[in-house]
Amino acid sequence: MRAIIAPAPNEPAVLTDIDAPRPGDGEVLIEVSHSSVNYKDGSTVLGRPGFVRTWPLTVGIDIVGTVVETTTDAFTSGDRVTLNGAGAGENRPGGYAEYATAPAASLVKVPESITSAQAAAIGTAGFTAALAVLAIEDHGLKAGDGEVLVTGAAGGVGSVAINLLARRGYSVTASTGRKAQEHAYLTGLGASRVIDRQDLAEPASAPLQEQRWAAVVDGVGSHTLANALAQTRYGGIAVAYGLAQGADLPVTVLPFILRAVTLTGANSVDAPLPLRQRAWDLLSHELDLDALDRMSTTIGLADVLDTAPRILAGQVRGRTIVDLTR
């Protein structure tokens, strides 16, 4: 079968032919129809360190397809399923192959209202966005309580988060490095306002700044998240999911002590099955699938190798679907 493999540490991935896998105890064998390209995928395809932990390994953190063999009672042959994260493409085979195995304990059935291509378009990015929205909901923030800042707004997580938040009635401010280019796209998703990422990207001028945000969904980290925290209103919440600017966080404890700000994370890898099902329930009922289709581009498996450097360079808008049938 065709697969994209990370051959060894610090070596770029290659498209090659390998034997189809066999499911172990508690696993299912999936005929993969679709995957997607995420920031993490771009990094692993280019051979950058930090994500892949065993070699050689089939990469691709999203799997969408049909169960063809199972060792558990949780699924039957013919079920459409999706796996987001859960170690796929990091320490177990991922979705850039025509067949893949996956642990039943992390698999979710694709909702009937969502096509397999749309499930891949949602992928880990949309799943992560849903986790962030659920964190804001669980914090008690309601529409009308204040502005929600979404950084890295034109990326996959940001795009889906904006749409979910706007459809829930939140006022969303989108931060992007392509303000002029992406203004119409982001407002079309539901953003009320678009700001330039440079407004937040420099070292914080003060540990506490003007209170602006009731909540933050951040995929950038470093100075951007530090500024966002310094500008978060009393009792607000920031949900971090990425580190495009850096893994550091040059911030004081003052936002947490004096403004009771909460900083939490959206972890797509280790999310337990009940939370996975809750996130997909949110996506199936509240995501604008027409908007999802508009933000999505479809490529073939071989095209992943050329797309990887573009997604790391911030040149990819929205979601990129990988069609394994091409």
Question: 151-174: per-residue pLDDT in tens?
Answer: 999 999 999 999 999 999 999 999
Tell how strand 80-84 and strand 108-109 pair up. antiparallel
Distances (CA, A) of 57 to 14, 37, 91, 239, 287: 11, 16, 8, 31, 33
Question: Per CATH, the architecture of 2-110+295-323 is what?
Answer: Alpha-Beta Complex (3.90)
CB 187 within 8 A of CB 180: no
pLDDT at 214 over 90: yes
CA 252 to chain centre: 28
Percent of the chain exceeding pLDDT 90 equals 98
Q: 156-167 vs 273-286: helix axis angle to the nearest 10?
A: 70
DSSP state of 221: B
The per-residue pLDDT for range 24-58, each reduced to its tens digit, is: 999 999 999 999 999 999 999 999 998 999 999 99
Percent of the chain exceeding pLDDT 70 equals 100
Tell the burial category of 199 from Cβ atoms under 10 Å away from its Cβ (0-12, 13-18, 19+). exposed
pLDDT at 322 over 90: yes
Mean pLDDT of 177-205: 96
The per-residue pLDDT for range 280-308, each reduced to its tens digit, is: 999 999 999 999 999 999 999 999 999 99
The CATH 3.90.180.10 domain(s) of the chain lie at 2-110+295-323
The per-residue pLDDT for range 6-23, each reduced to its tens digit, is: 999 999 999 999 999 999
- Which option is the CATH number for 125-265: 3.20.20.80, 3.40.50.720, 3.10.20.340, 3.30.465.10? 3.40.50.720
The per-residue pLDDT for range 82-110, each reduced to its tens digit, is: 999 999 999 999 999 999 999 999 999 99
The per-residue pLDDT for range 250-284, each reduced to its tens digit, is: 999 999 999 999 999 999 999 999 999 999 999 99
- In sequence order, which residues have a C-beta less than 8 Å from that of residue 291 and are 6 or more positions away? 163, 188, 189
pLDDT at 128 over 90: yes
pLDDT at 314 over 90: no
Mean pLDDT of 119-133: 97
pLDDT, the chain, mean: 96
The CATH 3.40.50.720 domain(s) of the chain lie at 125-265
Confidence grade of residue 74 (pLDDT, cut at 50, 70, 90): very high
